[in-house]
Amino acid sequence: MAKIILSPLLLALFVMLVFSLIILLRSDKKSAAGSRKKLLIFLVFVSALSLWLVSTPVISLRIAAVLEEPFRDASLIIPDREVEVVTVLSGGIQEGPVSELDTPGDASAHRVIRGVNYFLNSEADYLVMQGALSGEKPERMTELMKELALKMGVSEEDILLESYSRNTREHPRELLEMAEVSSDIKLAVVTSGWHLLRAEREFARYFADLTLVPAEFISHDRPEGFKAWLPQVSGLRTSTRSFHEMIGIIWYHLRYRLNL
């Protein structure tokens, strides 16, 4: 509790709310300058209050639940359909001071762990790692994902790397460029629960037989009591990730509608 109360995020928002409220109550309502100043301070107050709300677990987890709700079915945990290829979508890396200290990012690690477990319990022929980094080593992310899969017991000959797709829209296109993959295969797509809706829409444009495999849920770890209403960095991160995903869904939809 002390860590939350003393966090820079909570302290900064508290100071902004208190001082903007004091200035609003003491501002001159008669002059034009006073009215403009009051409007500006009011906007600061509303912004700080909005940021406070979306940073609280109560609100941020409800926002994330909008994306994850369709994929909470327990039947998705264990393979109950035949699949031929399992593809795992990347979610970033954590770079170290030297490449030997690079590790898969949180989302990538969750997805690989889930994907490997699903693959090992299925009769799929291949496990594909997908995603490219920007910069000089675009293949580094899938290499790290492969290393984790090997440590979990997947045979090297069963792992394929696709290190060209830079985003969700490119994943199915680049997957189809692989000799082992065709549009009529039975494909399982593994990604975070909050990302699965956008992934489903993109892969469904190219593959008729899809199995959706959620790997990571961010809307279930709910603190109890008063601290659930206090702004937290983790809450802000959850809201930011959710808003980013919602904007991505809308943007992809507009691009297809406008043929961009």
Residue-level pLDDT, tens digit, the chain, 260 residues:
555 555 777 678 877 888 787 777 776 656 555 677 778 888 888 999 999 999 999 999 999 999 999 888 755 666 667 899 999 999 999 999 988 899 999 999 999 999 999 999 998 999 999 999 988 889 999 999 999 999 999 999 999 999 999 999 999 999 999 999 999 999 999 999 999 999 999 999 999 999 999 998 998 877 777 788 889 999 999 999 999 999 999 999 998 888 87
Distances from the Cα of 257 to the Cαs of 201, 248, 260, in angstroms?
14, 14, 8
| CA dist., res. 72 & res. 8, Å (int) | 34
Report yes or no on whether pTM surpasses 0.85: yes
- Supply the pLDDT for residue 20: 81
- Supply the pLDDT for residue 9: 72
- Supply the pLDDT for residue 7: 72
- Supply the pLDDT for residue 173: 97
Q: Which two tokens stand for residue 135?
A: 């910069």
- Supply the pLDDT for residue 74: 57
- Supply the pLDDT for residue 31: 57
